[in-house]
Chains A and B, each alone.
Chain A
C-alpha cells in the first residue's frame, strides 16, 4: 500500500499532462456564453440612488440594446467609459447599465456623476442577480440583446473603438436589419 503512495505524483502528472494537451488546442481569450441565443432570464433590479427607474428584463424588449456590466471599483470600466459616453452622445444605441457589486449605495452614483452617465437605465446589482442572469464572469462585460430580448453576443473586457467597429457594430447592424 505504501508503495502505491509513491506512484501518486506520477499519476497526478499524467492526468495534468492530458489536460494540458487538450488545453493547448483552445484559445482562452474566446469566451462563449451558455446564454447566447437565449432569452434574457427574468430579473428586476432597483434603481441606483438618485435615479427613479431600475432595470428589468422587460425593459430590454422592442429594440436592439447594449447591456453593460460596470462598477465604480472596476479599473477597466474607466478605460471603456469615454467610448460609451461617445456612443451616447452620438445616439448610436441605447446602453443599459448593470451597476455590479458596489461597496456602498453612493459609490456608483458618485462615479457616474464624476465621469458622466452613458446609460439609458441602470439597475443596482449589489447581490449579483443581474450579473447571474447574464452569466457574467467579470467587469466590464457587454451584451448585445435583440428586439425580442434574446442575448445575441457577448464581449468580455473594455470596449474600444476598434472592437466596436470590428466586432460589435456589425452584429448590431445585422440584428437591426432582421425583422
Chain B
C-alpha cells in the first residue's frame, strides 16, 4: 500500500510541477497576478508530494518490503539500518527520486526565502524550476519507476553492492546532489533573466547565495566521494580522473567560475552575458554528468546499470533544457550591455583571468572525458583517456591560476597597480620560493615538480594571509585598531580568505601525497616487521570475524614511530559479504605529517602469511582539512548579511522601488 501512495504522490507531483511551470510563465508574460500567484504554492506542494514519495520508498527499504522491485534488487534483511536507508539512493530509481527531491527542495526554498526577489523574476525562476521538475518526474514515472512491484515476492533481497555499504558513501549522494541539482537554481535564474531581458547587479546578488550553497555542497560531496575512494578502494589513491568523477568536477569548475564572475556583475555591472552563460553551463554540466552516468555511454567503475531507453530520455531532456536555454541566450544575450569598464590590471581583470582559466580547465576535462566516445562514434578506434592527459593539461592551467589567486585580491577595482601588489607580496613570494627550495634540498631532489607544487601552496597561503593582514592594517595601526578591523570584516571576505587558504592546504596535500607516497607490498606472517617512513609496523596476525552481513579477515598491526613513540594498533579488514562481493577496508591512522594506511589481502597458504599493502601517504590529512576549510569558507560567505532576507537591497538603487509581492 505504501508503494502505491508513493507512486500516486509522484504522479500528483508531476501535475503540480506542470502547474508550477506553464500557467505561471504565461501569467508572468501577461502580468496576470492570479496565474502568477500559483507559483509559490505549487512549488511548496511539489516538494511535499515528492517528500511523501521519498518517505514511502524509505519505508519500503527500512521494512524490507521485497514486493517492491527496487528494494528486492538492492536491499537485504540482514543489512544494517544505516545502509537500508542509504540503499534508497544506492540504485538508479531511488537516486533519481533523490534528484527530484533536491530539485523540488530548492524550488521550495526559493519560494520561501526569495521574498525580496522582484516578483516577476521570482515567478519565472519558480516556473523554470517547475518545468525542470516536470521533465525529470516524467523520466522517473516512465522509465525508472521506483515503486514497480515484483511478483512473486522473493524471500530476501539481492543486497546493496558492498562497496557502497559504507558511512562515507551513505552521505555522498545526498551532498553531491544538493550541489549538482542546486545548480538548477542558477540555471533558472539565468533563463528567467534572459526571458526578462534584464540582468542587473540585483540579479547577480540574488543568484550568489544559491551558487554559494550549491558550490559548498558540491565541494563537500566531491570530497566525501574522494575520501571514500581513498579508504574503501584500498589503493591509497583519491582521484582517478574517472568519467564519473569528471562529471562532478566540471560543474564544480563552472560553479567556481560563476561565483567569481557574479562578484564582478554585482559590484561593477560588468561581464553580464558571461555570468549568465556560466549560470547555464554549470547546470548543463550537471545534466551532462547525469546523462553520462546513467546512460552507460562511457565505461566507468561507478556507472549504474545502463539502459538505452533511459539514455535516450535523459539525452532528450538535456538537449531540450540546455538547448532551450542556449537558444534564449543566443537571442537575448547580445542585448545584455555592461556599463562597468575596467583596466586589464584590476580586481575585475584578475577575476576575468580566473574565469578564463577555470573554463579552459573545464573544457579540457570535458574534452578528455568525451574524447573516447567521439572517437568511437567516428569509428576511429577505442581508447581510454587517463591521468597522464588530465595531469598534463590541467596542472599547467592551475599554475597561473594559483599565482594570480595571490595577486588578484590585492588589486583595486577598475584599475589596480601590479607594481604595488607585487611589491607588497614580495616577502610572501620570497618565503614561498625558499620553502620550495628547502623541500627540494631536504626531501626530494628528484622531483622539481613536487617542490614547485609546495612553493605554490606556500605562496597561496602566505599571500592569502598577507591580504587579510593588509586589510586589517596589522602592524600598521595599533593592535586594538587591527582587532576592530578584523571583527568588522564582512563574512564574504572571511569566506574568500578561508576558501583560498583551504585550497593552499589542499594543494600541499595533493602534491605531497602524489610525490612522496611510500608503499610496501609484502607477504607477511605473524611477527613480521616492516619499516615505512618513520614507522615500524609489526604484523600480529589475522583472524576471522563475523560482521552483521559479512565475514571478515581482520588483520592486526602494531605501529610505532621510531623506537620511542607510543605504539598503536591498526585493524584493516577484508570482507566477504554473504550475498554478493567483497571489499577491503583499509585501516588508516592520520598524523600531522601523513596517513599510515594498511590493507590486508588474501592468504597464500591457508592463513599463515597474508598479502599486505602498507602505505605512508604524506600530508593527506592536510588535503581533507583544506577541503573542509573551503566548504566552511563557502558557508560563512553564505551567511553574510547582504544575502539574508531584509538585507539592504533597495538602498543601493533608490530609483527602483521594490513593491511587496501580492500575497
A-side residues, CB < 8 A to B, are 2-3, 6-7, 9-10, 13-14, 16-17, 19-26, 28-29, 31-32, 34, 75, 114, 137-138
Closest Cβ–Cβ distance, residue A81 to chain B (whole Å) = 11
Residue of B nearest to A18 (CB): B377
Interface membership of B251, Cβ < 8 A:
no
Closest Cβ–Cβ distance, residue B283 to chain A (whole Å) = 13
**Most chain B CB inside 10 Å of its own CB: which residue of A10, A16, A24, A25:** A24
Contact B334 A6 (CB under 8 A): yes
Q: Which residues of B contact A32 (CB under 8 A)?
A: 382
Say yes or no: A13-B322 contact (C-beta < 8 A), given A7-B330, A138-B384. Answer: yes
Say yes or no: A31-B297 contact (C-beta < 8 A), given A9-B326, A23-B376, A26-B377. Answer: no
Interface membership of B489, Cβ < 8 A:
no
| Contacts A/B (CB < 8 Å), 10 sampled | A10-B323, A10-B329, A14-B323, A19-B370, A19-B373, A21-B315, A23-B377, A24-B297, A28-B299, A75-B235
Closest Cβ–Cβ distance, residue A102 to chain B (whole Å) = 14
Within 8 A of A (CB), among B286-325: 291, 295-299, 308, 311-312, 315, 318-319, 322-323
Within 8 A of A (CB), among B373-420: 373-374, 376-377, 381-384, 386
Complexed CA–CA distance, A34 and B375 (Å):
14
Contact B329 A9 (CB under 8 A): yes
Q: Which residues of B contact A137 (CB under 8 A)?
A: 382-384
Partner of B323 from A13, A75, A114 at Cβ < 8 Å? A13
Residue of B nearest to A114 (CB): B523
Interface membership of B227, Cβ < 8 A:
no
Closest Cβ–Cβ distance, residue B288 to chain A (whole Å) = 8
Closest Cβ–Cβ distance, residue A77 to chain B (whole Å) = 12
Residue of A nearest to B243 (CB): A28
Interface membership of B201, Cβ < 8 A:
no
Contact B330 A6 (CB under 8 A): yes
Interface membership of B97, Cβ < 8 A:
no
Closest Cβ–Cβ distance, residue B193 to chain A (whole Å) = 15
Q: Which residues of A contact B383 (CB under 8 A)?
A: 137
Complexed CA–CA distance, A20 and B323 (Å):
14
B-side residues, CB < 8 A to A, are 235, 273, 277, 280-281, 284, 291, 295-299, 308, 311-312, 315, 318-319, 322-323, 326-327, 329-330, 333-334, 370, 372-374, 376-377, 381-384, 386, 521, 523
Partner of B297 from A14, A23, A75, A114 at Cβ < 8 Å? A23
Contact A23 B326 (CB under 8 A): no
Contact B334 A3 (CB under 8 A): yes
Q: Which residues of A contact B297 (CB under 8 A)?
A: 20, 23-24, 26, 28
Partner of B291 from A13, A20, A22 at Cβ < 8 Å? A20
The 8 closest A-B pairs by CB, nearest first: A10-B326, A6-B333, A23-B297, A22-B377, A28-B299, A9-B326, A7-B330, A6-B330
Q: Which residues of A contact B322 (CB under 8 A)?
A: 13
Complexed CA–CA distance, A32 and B386 (Å):
19
Residue of B nearest to A82 (CB): B602
Residue of A nearest to B277 (CB): A9
Complexed CA–CA distance, A104 and B373 (Å):
34
Complexed CA–CA distance, A179 and B235 (Å):
46
Complexed CA–CA distance, A114 and B298 (Å):
36
Complexed CA–CA distance, A17 and B323 (Å):
10
Seed contacts A14-B319, A23-B297, A26-B376; 5 additional CB < 8 Å A-B pairs: A6-B329, A13-B326, A19-B377, A20-B315, A28-B376
Q: Which residues of A contact B323 (CB under 8 A)?
A: 10, 13-14, 17
Q: Which residues of A contact B327 (CB under 8 A)?
A: 10
Q: Which residues of A contact B299 (CB under 8 A)?
A: 28-29
Q: Which residues of A contact B312 (CB under 8 A)?
A: 21, 24
Residue of A nearest to B376 (CB): A26
Q: Which residues of A contact B311 (CB under 8 A)?
A: 24
Say yes or no: A13-B376 contact (C-beta < 8 A), given A6-B329, A31-B382, A137-B383. Answer: no
Residue of B nearest to A75 (CB): B235
Complexed CA–CA distance, A13 and B308 (Å):
20
Contact A28 B370 (CB under 8 A): no
Closest Cβ–Cβ distance, residue B369 to chain A (whole Å) = 11
Complexed CA–CA distance, A58 and B329 (Å):
62
Q: Which residues of B contact A19 (CB under 8 A)?
A: 370, 373-374, 377
Q: Which residues of A contact B298 (CB under 8 A)?
A: 28
Complexed CA–CA distance, A24 and B373 (Å):
9
**Most chain A CB inside 10 Å of its own CB: which residue of B281, B284, B327, B377:** B377
Closest Cβ–Cβ distance, residue A9 to chain B (whole Å) = 4
Contact B281 A9 (CB under 8 A): yes
Q: Which residues of A contact B373 (CB under 8 A)?
A: 19-20, 23, 28
Complexed CA–CA distance, A23 and B314 (Å):
13
Contact A6 B377 (CB under 8 A): no
Residue of A nearest to B292 (CB): A20
Closest Cβ–Cβ distance, residue B218 to chain A (whole Å) = 22
Complexed CA–CA distance, A179 and B46 (Å):
70
